[in-house]
C-alpha cells in the first residue's frame, strides 16, 4: 500500500518548466492544418536522463535516436517533439529526417546533437514534411513560465481532447525538489507503453543509472497499468531529465530520502497515466480496477489490467450494465493464481460477487452509480497479500467513429 509522505505537495500552475532551470515552447509549423504541432523542452544545463520505450518490435526513427542519445552520454539537454506525423515505418529517409530534426535543434540552442532527444507522434507511414520542421525550429523561443509550457503540452497532442500536466514539490535534504510532467495519449494505449509520450523534468540531483531504475519501477505501476484499446504503438516513450539545480545531495537507493523521491515520481506518473486513461478516444468514463489478495503485486496488476482491458467490461460500463459476469470472466483468464470460490467483486463499493457466487444487490442503485464519470471496480482473490491498480476507460460509439476515419 502507498506510504504517505507529508512533505510531498502537488503545486498549482503545474507545468513542465516548474523545476529550476527548464524552459519550453510550442507553435504551429504546418504539419497539422491549424493546431500547434512542434515543441521544444530545454534544460539550462545538460541533465541526467533516462527513458522507457514501447515494447512494439516496430520502433520509429525518433525513438531509436533518443534511445541512442541517452545511451551515449546518459544525458539530454533538450527534446524536440512534433505531432501530426509519427515518422514511423518511413525507411532510411525517416532516420535522415529525425537526425536532421536533432541537428537543427542543436544548432538553434548552441549545443551538441547528442544532447537532443527526438519524439514524434501522429500518422504512421507518411514521410515527415521537413520543410515545415526546417521553418519551425528556428522560430521556437523557449521560455520559463506557464505560457511556454502550455504551448509545449498542446503541441504534442493528436486525438487528445485536453493537455495533461502535473507537478509536485518535496523536501529532500532540506532542499526543495520539484518534479513535473506532461504527456499525450488517447488511443492505441495498452501496456506496456503505447501511443503516448511522457516527459518528466526534475531539478533533483540523481545519476542516470539510478534515475533509470526509479523510472522503470514507477512506469510499471503507472503508464504500464493503463489501457484504452489493447493496441501498442511504435513511437512511445517516457523520458525523464534531472538537471541537479535543486542542489540536493545526489540521490541513490541507499539515500534515506530515496523512498520520498520515488513516491513523488510515482505521483507524477500516476497523475499523467490516469489523465491519459480518462481521455481515451471517445471515452465518457475513467475506470479504476483495484485488486487485492493476489499472490504478488505483479499478479495483482496483471489481473487489474486484464479486467480494465476487457472490451466486454468496457462496453458494460459504457452501457451502465452491472454485468459482474464479465468482470469475473476477465479475472479467470488473466493467468493469475486463483481459487474461483474465493473471489469477491465490488462495483463502486457494492458487493456483487462473494466467494465466487452472486451476492444480492440493487440493479437500480448500480445503474445510477455507473452513470458517474469515474467508476471503481474492486476484486479480492484471497490468495495472498499482492495489491495492484490499473486504469482504463469505457468503449463507446465515438471510439469507432474516431478510428474509422483517422487518416481521412
162-171 residue pLDDT tens: 889 999 999 9
The answer, yes or no, to whether residue 152 has pLDDT greater than 80, is yes
Output DSSP code: residue 35. S
Q: Quick one: average pLDDT of 245-257?
A: 96
Q: Which three cell numbers stand for residue 118?
A: 527526438
pLDDT for 283:
76
The answer, yes or no, to whether residue 250 has pLDDT greater than 70, is yes
Q: Quick one: average pLDDT of 41-49?
A: 98
CA–CA gap between residue 323 and residue 347 (Å, rounded): 10
CA–CA gap between residue 392 and residue 339 (Å, rounded): 26
| ∠ Cα 190 191 194 (to 5°) | 55
Contact 117/198 with Cβ under 8 angstroms? Answer: no
374-380: strand order across its sheet:
226-227, 386-393, 286-294, 374-380, 344-347, 350-354, 357-358
Catalytic positions are 195
The answer, yes or no, to whether residue 55 has pLDDT greater than 70, is no
The answer, yes or no, to whether residue 370 has pLDDT greater than 50, is yes
Confidence band for 402, pLDDT divided at 50, 70 and 90: low
The answer, yes or no, to whether residue 4 has pLDDT greater than 60, is yes
Q: Quick one: average pLDDT of 192-219?
A: 88
CA–CA gap between residue 346 and residue 352 (Å, rounded): 6
Mean pLDDT taken over the chain: 90
The answer, yes or no, to whether residue 195 has pLDDT greater than 60, is no
pLDDT for 330:
95
In 222-362, which ranges are continuous DSSP H helix?
258-278, 297-309, 311-318, 324-332
Whose CA is closest to 109, among 65, 79, 150?
79
* Residues 375-395: tens digit of each pLDDT: 999 999 999 999 999 988 888
Q: Which three cell numbers stand for residue 36?
A: 500547434
Whose CA is closest to 59, among 168, 193, 213, 206?
193
For the chain, first and last CA: distance in Å?
46
The answer, yes or no, to whether residue 408 has pLDDT greater than 80, is no
* Residues 254-277: tens digit of each pLDDT: 999 999 999 999 999 999 988 888
Backbone CA torsion sign across 225, 229, 230, 235: negative
Confidence band for 78, pLDDT divided at 50, 70 and 90: very high
Element (H, E) at 346: strand 344-347
Q: Quick one: average pLDDT of 163-188?
A: 89
pLDDT for 193:
36
pLDDT for 406:
52
pLDDT for 188:
42
For residue 45, report the phi and psi dihedrals to the nearest 5 degrees.
-130, 160
Contact 54/190 with Cβ under 8 angstroms? Answer: no
| ∠ Cα 40 128 89 (to 5°) | 110
* Residues 276-332: tens digit of each pLDDT: 887 766 678 899 999 999 999 999 999 999 999 898 999 999 999 999 999 999 999
CA–CA gap between residue 226 and residue 308 (Å, rounded): 8
pLDDT for 202:
98
Q: Which three cell numbers stand for residue 141?
A: 523561443
Backbone CA torsion sign across 33, 407, 272, 118: negative
Confidence band for 186, pLDDT divided at 50, 70 and 90: low
Contact 389/382 with Cβ under 8 angstroms? Answer: no
Output DSSP code: residue 313. H
Contact 67/46 with Cβ under 8 angstroms? Answer: no
Element (H, E) at 357: strand 357-358
CA–CA gap between residue 18 and residue 145 (Å, rounded): 7
CA–CA gap between residue 24 and residue 199 (Å, rounded): 12
Confidence band for 161, pLDDT divided at 50, 70 and 90: confident
CA–CA gap between residue 231 and residue 112 (Å, rounded): 36
Spell out the domains of the chain, with CATH numbers in brackets.
9-275 (3.60.70.12), 286-404 (3.10.20.340)
Is-above-0.85 flag for pTM?
A: no
For residue 143, report the phi and psi dihedrals to the nearest 5 degrees.
-145, 150
Amino acid at each position: 500500500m502507498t506510504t504517505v509522505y507529508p512533505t510531498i505537495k502537488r503545486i498549482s500552475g503545474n507545468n513542465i518548466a516548474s523545476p529550476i532551470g527548464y524552459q519550453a515552447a510550442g507553435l504551429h509549423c504546418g504539419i497539422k492544418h491549424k493546431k500547434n504541432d512542434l515543441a521544444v523542452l530545454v534544460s539550462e544545463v545538460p541533465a541526467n536522463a533516462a527513458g522507457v520505450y514501447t515494447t512494439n518490435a516496430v520502433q520509429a526513427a525518433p525513438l531509436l535516436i533518443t534511445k541512442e542519445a541517452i545511451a551515449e552520454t546518459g544525458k539530454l539537454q533538450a527534446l524536440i517533439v512534433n505531432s501530426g506525423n509519427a515518422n514511423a515505418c518511413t525507411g532510411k529517409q525517416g532516420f535522415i529526417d529525425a537526425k536532421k530534426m536533432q541537428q537543427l535543434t542543436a544548432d538553434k540552442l548552441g549545443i551538441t546533437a547528442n544532447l537532443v532527444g527526438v519524439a514524434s507522434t501522429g500518422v504512421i507511414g507518411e514521410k515527415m514534411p521537413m520543410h515545415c520542421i526546417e521553418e519551425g525550429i528556428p522560430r521556437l523561443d523557449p521560455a520559463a513560465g506557464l505560457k511556454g509550457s502550455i504551448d509545449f503540452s498542446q503541441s504534442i497532442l493528436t486525438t487528445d481532447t485536453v493537455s495533461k500536466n502535473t507537478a509536485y514539490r518535496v523536501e529532500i535534504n532540506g532542499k526543495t525538489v520539484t518534479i513535473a510532467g506532461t504527456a499525450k495519449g488517447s488511443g492505441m494505449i495498452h501496456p506496456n507503453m503505447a501511443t503516448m509520450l511522457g516527459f518528466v523534468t526534475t531539478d533533483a540531483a540523481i545519476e542516470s543509472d539510478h534515475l533509470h531504475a526509479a523510472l522503470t519501477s514507477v512506469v510499471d505501476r503507472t503508464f504500464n497499468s493503463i489501457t484504452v484499446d489493447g493496441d501498442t504503438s511504435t513511437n512511445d516513450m517516457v523520458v525523464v531529465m534531472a538537471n541537479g539545480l535543486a542542489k540536493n545531495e545526489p540521490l541513490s537507493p541507499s539515500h534515506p530520502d530515496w523512498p520520498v523521491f520515488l513516491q513523488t515520481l510515482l505521483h507524477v506518473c500516476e497523475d499523467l497515466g490516469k489523465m491519459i486513461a480518462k481521455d481515451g478516444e471517445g471515452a465518457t468514463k475513467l475506470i479504476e480496477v483495484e485488486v487485492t489478495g493476489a499472490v504478488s503485486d505483479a499478479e495483482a496488476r496483471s489481473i487489474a489490467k486484464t479486467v480494465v482491458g476487457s472490451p466486454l467490461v468496457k462496453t458494460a460500463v459504457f452501457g451502465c450494465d452491472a454485468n459482474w459476469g464479465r468482470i469475473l470472466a476477465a479475472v479467470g483468464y488473466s493467468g493469475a493464481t486463483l481459487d474461483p470460490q474465493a473471489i469477491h467483486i465490488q462495483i463502486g463499493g457494492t458487493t456483487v460477487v462473494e466467494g465466487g457466487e452472486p451476492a444480492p444487490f440493487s440493479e437500480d442503485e448500480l445503474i445510477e452509480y455507473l452513470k458517474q464519470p469515474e467508476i471503481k471496480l474492486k476484486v479480492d482473490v484471497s490468495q495472498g497479500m499482492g495489491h495492484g491498480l490499473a486504469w482504463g476507460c469505457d468503449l463507446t460509439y465515438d471510439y469507432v467513429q474516431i478510428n474509422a476515419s483517422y487518416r481521412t
